[in-house]
Structure 1
């Protein structure tokens, strides 16, 4: 069994939600403690040296890689339960497996042999196969990372080495030299073959009691790994040829895990090579988060390729004032984020690389130019940006070049874009009037649409606060959310663009005031999601409505997170279902299933900017994965 040691001076007694009681081990990466969950479950808590993960990008990478490790099948591996940071110290919590390590067992009792060795070889290969199927590599397999549990060998500490490799500087190597593949020593890309090499080195130790490439100083070990033949004296004949092939210097000369398992078990199997993890997709306007692999209480099951709630790439900086609006467009196959700030400046970013595209786009002067709306549309196969400020000045930009094409006054400070009669139109709201303008000429396309009101009190006049355009039963419909009060009995209006008439749906009886609004689709029917005060302005609520029937849709109103603190919202499709992503002023982002009103995953918090005030948000998809982009 592992010899437990009491906590020493300087050891923490608690980290996160876990009480620490004893020391399981210490190493170059950090220390491992026996911990306990609030429910009393024993766990292994690995606290990494804080110098290992010091940069913001390295911390995000550690979280991302560790969260991927949580998806590994639990047979033959210790399940990763939690990851986090406390006082800049990264930690990882995993299932506690009672038993000695393979290193300790061989040292105390001698090499493994017979069926015990065979079971060890097959179990560790099976664990590596599960790790690779999750899209990660172990990169630090060695005898001390194989625990000889009561129910068989268990592989631990997978998915950490890659994160730490990126966090180190200079010539430091992450890994154990005697078990590292030659390509890792030469700083070449790792692949599944790297883990095969480490597995074979571990099996040599397990079957002989000595390492495959000798001992002594680290330079001598590294030289032997790169140039010498492995020392397999003492290994059983039935394994020598197999281990020799797995210890080939070149990765392409090594057998795959499937080939090794087939030979060890005597069964034919598919010998395709397991691909290494897909390269991380980078890019975010300010902070981008991926929605979850599974819901907490919603019937979604399709896992994305990057774990829930983790930043994608680096934080984009450059604005000198708060981000007031965000929009996304695909330009020649490249996702482009357009961001606007309170200083009246727009910037374009490549969502994948994080690079700013071209020069800042200026024109909304600070005195009058607080940009309130940014939308992107297409006209004549060209992407256009439409930006509006609080003085109702609107500018039309070429997304590719960044050139300003037109500038108009009195177009409204609430903007949306849509299609009418097969051509793109700009929809502007100001006061109680909604106007539709032709793009790119800016000419009025039809008579203005007026929000009706039934009181002679001027203070009761509604003011358009949110606009959206969608299609209902083959016709273009404009949805207008209004600031209103208890003297008015309608806060949301819908208009048929073709006739200019208001549609008298039950939806229009929603009372109160609309602060935020977005549209979505479900089974071919359009949905509008709104957030604002209810009648008499006594409470705040989020509601979803079907635009086909005008009836309430789903159960988002029941969500407990819907409070006055919501600063921004967006809708996105997740596993074919409409989903609302909303952000609080404190920077917390939550994901709601519209149909059930249940939260999906845990609240998303940007630990790099814990006090960040969310000012804008939009959503898109990258390679099928939903992504939300947050401005601060």
Structure 2
């Protein structure tokens, strides 16, 4: 039947159904509805995507998330080699309109209009290797991006002009794993972490490093996030074999080490506030090479250093965590790989209320592993899966 479709609309509908048929053929109607709506958006059929996600399923609640857009392999603008997944997204307002700054598996940094998912202007050029780290901030009223590459170079960009700001920030001699921004004494700063096991802090107003590099966990640091504790800016870092450390960015000194026990392989870190108090959410494993079933998602009170809760035995290998306020309550958004022992390598995004650590609604599923989740200021979820991306809004 699908092969006999003759009209353009019928052929498109057939292609949409076949895109992930091997995943949704034997699933329940709720999962099938969501995957078909995603595939329709990947094929540029926004109206069909809306109709699909709005379809009622007997005995089930309405879908919570609609697909605003999805790139599809031909629209992303990055090479689509499956082995080159190095995809990261940060959002920022440029001239009052939300945009996404995208680093991918090449040396280019791209800007997308968040409302449409379409590229804006020419890619930012200057890196010589792929760009796995991106953050955004505002300097003197102008939106800036800070990007780090595989060679250790960190570049700063004025997003209003699309031009680099000054020379690259040079201090690392290996891959930049992640970058994060913070205000220190009212001045914008960026913190950079590298495979060379150092953490540098830079004043973005001057482009100069601040003090000596922090010597962290004597191990690779794949994750970090900034927060405010007792009115002072702090950095939370997670390491392979090094647990979780909290740093006072005003002094450059260690504030505390969180007791992760034998779960020292920390893969993700995000921060949030619960009842006005700073908290961190981390993902850790016993065996970082083959995580198996030992995943742990933990919630920490950063004022006391106490672990508040954890959720073990999740069916996902969590690879990304973001936080957001939903209906005024702090939530964690996790992205990862569902059914890690299955050849389909399906991705998943789950939303949890961090005050209860309970999942809010059904998970979102993807045809490829999810490695990036970002929450924009308008509440949209930006999800990177495989070499593609999609944006979701609450219905």
Corresponding residue SS for 1:357 = coil
Hey, what does 1:342 align to over in structure 2?
105
- The structure 2 residue matched to 1:546, chosen from 296, 301, 314, is 301
Unaligned runs of 5+ in 1: 1-13, 19-53, 67-79, 83-92, 96-291, 294-306, 453-460, 485-489
Hey, what does 1:429 align to over in structure 2?
193
Hey, what does 1:561 align to over in structure 2?
314
Between Structure 1 and Structure 2, the one with more strand by share is 2
Hey, what does 2:90 align to over in structure 1?
327
Answer yes or no: is the 8 Å Cα contact 1:578–1:595 preserved in 2: yes
- The structure 2 residue matched to 1:438, chosen from 203, 220, 230, is 203
TM-score (normalised: structure 2)? 0.74
Hey, what does 1:383 align to over in structure 2?
143
- The structure 2 residue matched to 1:618, chosen from 367, 374, 388, is 374
* 1:510 to partner: Cα distance: 7.3
- The structure 2 residue matched to 1:525, chosen from 264, 277, 285, is 277
Shift of the 440–16 alpha-carbon distance from structure 1 to 2, 3 Å rule, reads: same
* 1:55 to partner: Cα distance: 6.8
* 1:509 to partner: Cα distance: 6.1
- The structure 1 residue matched to 2:68, chosen from 285, 295, 312, is 312
Higher RCO (Cα < 8 Å, 6 or more apart): 2
Corresponding residue SS for 1:326 = strand
* 1:335 to partner: Cα distance: 0.8
Hey, what does 1:499 align to over in structure 2?
251
Shift of the 362–94 alpha-carbon distance from structure 1 to 2, 3 Å rule, reads: same
* 1:590 to partner: Cα distance: 1.3
* Superposition RMSD in Å: 2.8
Is 1:420 aligned to residue 184 of structure 2? yes
Unaligned runs of 5+ in 2: 1-24, 30-42, 338-345, 386-395
Shift of the 524–418 alpha-carbon distance from structure 1 to 2, 3 Å rule, reads: same
Corresponding residue SS for 2:221 = strand
Structure 1 residue ranges (4+ consecutive) displaced by more than 6 angstroms after TM superposition: 535-538
User: Within 2, Cα distance between the matches of 1:584 and 1:561?
Assistant: 11
Hey, what does 1:62 align to over in structure 2?
51
Hey, what does 2:390 align to over in structure 1?
none
Matches within 5 A, 1:155-194: none
Hey, what does 1:576 align to over in structure 2?
328
- The structure 1 residue matched to 2:225, chosen from 464, 468, 485, is 468
Answer yes or no: is the 8 Å Cα contact 2:180–2:224 preserved in 1: yes
Between Structure 1 and Structure 2, the one with more helix by share is 1
Hey, what does 2:384 align to over in structure 1?
631
Q: Deviations over 1:419-453 (max 9, x none)?
A: 1121011112233332211114321112332226x
Matches within 5 A, 1:109-508: 307-315=63-71, 317-321=76-80, 322=85, 324-365=87-128, 369-406=129-166, 407-411=168-172, 413=176, 414-430=178-194, 431-451=196-216, 461-484=218-241, 490-504=242-256, 506-507=258-259
Answer yes or no: is the 8 Å Cα contact 1:566–1:584 preserved in 2: yes
Q: Deviations over 1:165-184 (max 9, x none)?
A: xxxxxxxxxxxxxxxxxxxx
User: Within 2, Cα distance between the matches of 1:376 and 1:534?
Assistant: 32
Shift of the 425–562 alpha-carbon distance from structure 1 to 2, 3 Å rule, reads: farther
Answer yes or no: is the 8 Å Cα contact 1:559–1:598 preserved in 2: no
* 1:547 to partner: Cα distance: 0.9
User: Within 1, Cα distance between the matches of 2:26 and 2:197?
Assistant: 55
User: Within 1, Cα distance between the matches of 2:105 and 2:118?
Assistant: 21
User: Within 2, Cα distance between the matches of 1:309 and 1:480?
Assistant: 31
Shift of the 393–55 alpha-carbon distance from structure 1 to 2, 3 Å rule, reads: closer
Corresponding residue SS for 1:408 = coil
**Larger of the two Rg values belongs to structure:** 1
Corresponding residue SS for 2:335 = strand
Hey, what does 1:279 align to over in structure 2?
none
TM-score (normalised: structure 1)? 0.48
Shift of the 509–353 alpha-carbon distance from structure 1 to 2, 3 Å rule, reads: same
Answer yes or no: is the 8 Å Cα contact 1:517–1:531 preserved in 2: yes
User: Within 1, Cα distance between the matches of 2:201 and 2:209?
Assistant: 6
Aligned length: 325
Hey, what does 1:187 align to over in structure 2?
none
* 1:361 to partner: Cα distance: 1.4
Answer yes or no: is the 8 Å Cα contact 1:338–1:349 preserved in 2: yes
Q: Deviations over 1:535-572 (max 9, x none)?
A: 8988221111111111112x4x2265354x22222111
Corresponding residue SS for 1:61 = helix
